[in-house]
Amino acid sequence: MDILAKNFVAFVTILVILLSIMSSVGCIGANWGTQATHLLPPQMVVKMLRDNGIQKVKLFDADGRILNALSGSGIEVMVGIPNDMLSGLANSVDAAEQWVVSNISTFISTLNVDIRYVAVGNEPFLSTYNGTYIGTTFPALQNIQAALIKAGLANRVKVTIPLNADVYQSATSSPSTGDFRPNIHDLMVQICQFLNDNGAPFTINIYPFISLYNDPNFPIDYAFFDGYSSPINDNGRIYDNVFDANHDTLVWALQNNGITNLSIIVGEIGWPTDGDRNANPLNAQRFNQGFMRHISGGKGTPMRPGPVDAYLFSLIDEDAKSIQPGNFERHWGLFNYDGTPKYNLSLNSNSAGLIGASNVQHLSRRWCIMSPNASVDDAQVGPSVSYACSHADCSSLGYETSCGNLDGKGNISYAFNSYYQENNQLPIACQFPGLSVVTTTDPSQGDCKFKIMIRTSPLIGSGHKSNTWFIQHVNLMILVLFILLGTTL
Ligand SMILES: *[C@@H]1O[C@H](CO)[C@@H](O)[C@H](O)[C@H]1NC(C)=O
Ligand SMILES: *[C@@H]1O[C@H](CO)[C@@H](O)[C@H](O)[C@H]1NC(C)=O
Ligand SMILES: *[C@@H]1O[C@H](CO)[C@@H](O)[C@H](O)[C@H]1NC(C)=O
Ligand SMILES: *[C@@H]1O[C@H](CO)[C@@H](O)[C@H](O)[C@H]1NC(C)=O
Ligand SMILES: *[C@@H]1O[C@H](CO)[C@@H](O)[C@H](O)[C@H]1NC(C)=O
Ligand SMILES: CC(=O)N[C@H]1CO[C@H](CO)[C@@H](O)[C@@H]1O
């Protein structure tokens, strides 16, 4: 190659690198969680990400099959460390080094996965954890950072801690009085200084939906991005949406503690579609499209003008998440469990709507419902429904949710079907004592969809999934016992 050609190649390479850096900053990311009984194959999810122009993903652990599927995709990755690993990593430099070698180095060097961040813990200082991870999170962060330096990756991979917005607060309704929560104040300042010293970002999860859920008097328009009749005037800075106000409360909390230039990533932002009166596709579309519009053009927030680096929560529904925070927890996805889009959302200027997964295989068109000859007053109904709901997913039943208008029989059928589908339509999973029957007529009514589960191959199952498989089979044995008891009583 002559010198001119070499220079040209170098020029093109630099241009491509520059363009990819520029494009990814303004690009939206998504959270990819895996707490579901039936996961789409990782390769299919990666294709969905690419088809929808999502160039960044945030993971909650370091699942080898997901990282393999991201190999060579060009998608930027934030890998996660679950909270239950924090104490091990806090107490052993060696464990942190091993974690980095097996979960970061290998995937970058041999598999060409574009890992950019390590998320140390997930909302570890959440008030509801009662301080469980307060002692271990910062030491684990320091050990992972040291391990990244040792592996020669510290310039390329940055550490961060995704935190819930409950780590800061404001004494007034104005952001400028923002400060960290008193019981973790000094720890937060130390962590922020450490992140700053290492060129690492602060990651914050902001949930206007939860503000509305927790406070029935919360002004609904303030949760969205379409204007609000009583905006907050904070010394001339105008806030007409709670996202900006919340984000800037963090900026002020940092600034009021002498940290003026820490970069901020919005780790989770989104709106659920079911499980609460305010959780529906219309509101989710309004919020997410409003957010995309709000951050497009790089206007930023009053205190941080410029591009907002954000990850939508979340990509796909997760039917095995804990519903302790509320029934909405299983319905945050832009996509349903089977990769179908829930609503029209344009993620960038040239897209009309979301593009679903292709070639998804469902199980047969079969549902488990309450048998027509059974009575809602049957003594077995109560225990059967609570059994089905505690092992499957009834989070769409309830006041003003998608299946909130079913009658008694409909409720019972919904519960039975959920259990039947989660158990892959095994005949034994539709044998509630004298109460249930399999039908080929779709029992769905309006917005209330009776699911048909997707086919998953045990071969693509992870440790997590084979674990689910095991639990399901134990559940089935318990169900058999339950039926035997039911019939002998
Ligand atoms: C790598 O991450 C996975 C998934 O979080 C975890 O199970 C495994 O223990 C980690 N490896 C090491 C050596 O820590
Ligand atoms: C936190 O404390 C509350 C009240 O004491 C208790 O109900 C809850 O189970 C605790 N949560 C955890 C994660 O320890
Ligand atoms: C603040 O950070 C930005 C990028 O994160 C950088 O361009 C700028 O120089 C920094 N300013 C100061 C005063 O450190
Ligand atoms: C999106 O909009 C198109 C027409 O604008 C409509 O046909 C389609 O059903 C919509 N999709 C969803 C998921 O709402
Ligand atoms: C259906 O179930 C829901 C949730 O358990 C309950 O709130 C509702 O009252 C039930 N409806 C009927 C008609 O039984
Ligand atoms: C009470 C009763 O007759 N129950 C029957 C209803 O129908 C199912 C099958 O559809 C039978 O298994 C039950 O015994």
pLDDT band at 451 (very low <50, low <70, confident <90, very high): very high
Work out the average pLDDT over 78-105.
Answer: 98
Q: What is the pLDDT of residues 177-218, one digit of tens each?
A: 999 999 999 999 999 999 999 999 999 999 999 999 999 999
Write down the domain spans for the chain.
22-330, 367-485
Q: What is the pLDDT at residue 459? A: 45
pLDDT band at 469 (very low <50, low <70, confident <90, very high): very low
Question: What ligand is nearest to the CA atom of residue 432?
Answer: 6
| pLDDT over 70 at 368, yes or no | yes
Q: What is the pLDDT at residue 2? A: 55
Q: What is the pLDDT at residue 349? A: 72
Assigned fold of 22-330: TIM Barrel (3.20.20)
Among residues 125, 29, 118, 8, the alpha carbon closest in space to that of 347 is found at 29
Ligand 1 mutation target, pool 92, 103, 464, most atoms within 8 A of CB = 103
Cα(99) to centroid of ligand 2, in Å? 30
Cα atoms in the 13 Å half-sphere on the side-chain side of 106: 12
CB of 336 sitting under 6 A from ligand 6: no
* Catalytic residue (choose from 76, 97, 268, 422): 268
| pLDDT over 60 at 15, yes or no | no
Q: What is the pLDDT at residue 17? A: 45
Question: What ligand is nearest to the CA atom of residue 25?
Answer: 3
* Catalytic residue (choose from 76, 97, 123, 329): 123
Q: Which amino acid is at 327?
A: N
Q: What is the pLDDT at residue 348? A: 82
| pLDDT over 70 at 458, yes or no | no
* Least confident span in 21-35, 165-179, 312-326: 21-35
Instruction: List Cα–Cα distances, 177 to 171, 241, 279, in angstroms.
Output: 6, 17, 31
Work out the average pLDDT over 100-107.
Answer: 98
Mean pLDDT of the chain: 91
Active site includes 422?
no
Q: What is the pLDDT at residue 488? A: 44
Q: What is the pLDDT at residue 389? A: 97
CB of 129 sitting under 6 A from ligand 2: yes
Work out the average pLDDT over 110-114.
Answer: 97
Ligand 5 atom with the shortest distance to the CA of 389: 5
Active site includes 268?
yes
pLDDT band at 477 (very low <50, low <70, confident <90, very high): low
Distance CA 217, CA 232 (A): 16
For ligand 4, atom 6: residue with the closest CA? 344
Backbone angles phi, psi at 454, to 5 degrees: -90, 155
**Tokens coding 456:** 């998953």
| pLDDT over 60 at 303, yes or no | yes
Distance CA 64, CA 287 (A): 33
Higher pLDDT among residues 19 and 316, named by residue: 316
Q: Which amino acid is at 219?
A: P
Q: What is the pLDDT of residues 393-442, one digit of tens each?
A: 999 999 999 999 999 999 999 999 999 999 999 999 999 999 999 999 99
**Tokens coding 221:** 């328009």
Q: What is the pLDDT at residue 252? A: 98
CB of 437 sitting under 6 A from ligand 6: yes
Ligand 6 mutation target, pool 368, 370, 371, most atoms within 8 A of CB = 371
Work out the average pLDDT over 445-453.
Answer: 97
Neighbours of 139 (CB within 10 A): 17
Work out the average pLDDT over 27-39.
Answer: 97
Work out the average pLDDT over 128-134.
Answer: 97
| Residue 379: alpha-carbon gap to chain centroid | 39
Cα(481) to centroid of ligand 1, in Å? 37
The fraction of the chain above a pLDDT of 90, given in percent, is: 86
Q: What is the pLDDT at residue 489? A: 40
Burial of 92 (0-12, 13-18, 19+ CB in 10 A): middle
Q: What is the pLDDT at residue 10? A: 57
Among residues 194, 189, 42, the alpha carbon closest in space to that of 111 is found at 42
| pLDDT over 80 at 122, yes or no | yes
Question: Do residues 304 and 311 lie in contact, with contact meaning Cβ atoms separated by under 8 Å?
Answer: no
Work out the average pLDDT over 98-108.
Answer: 98
CB of 436 sitting under 6 A from ligand 6: no
Cα(261) to centroid of ligand 3, in Å? 6
Q: What is the pLDDT of residues 349-367, one digit of tens each?
A: 767 799 999 999 999 999 9
* Least confident span in 234-238, 393-397, 458-462: 458-462
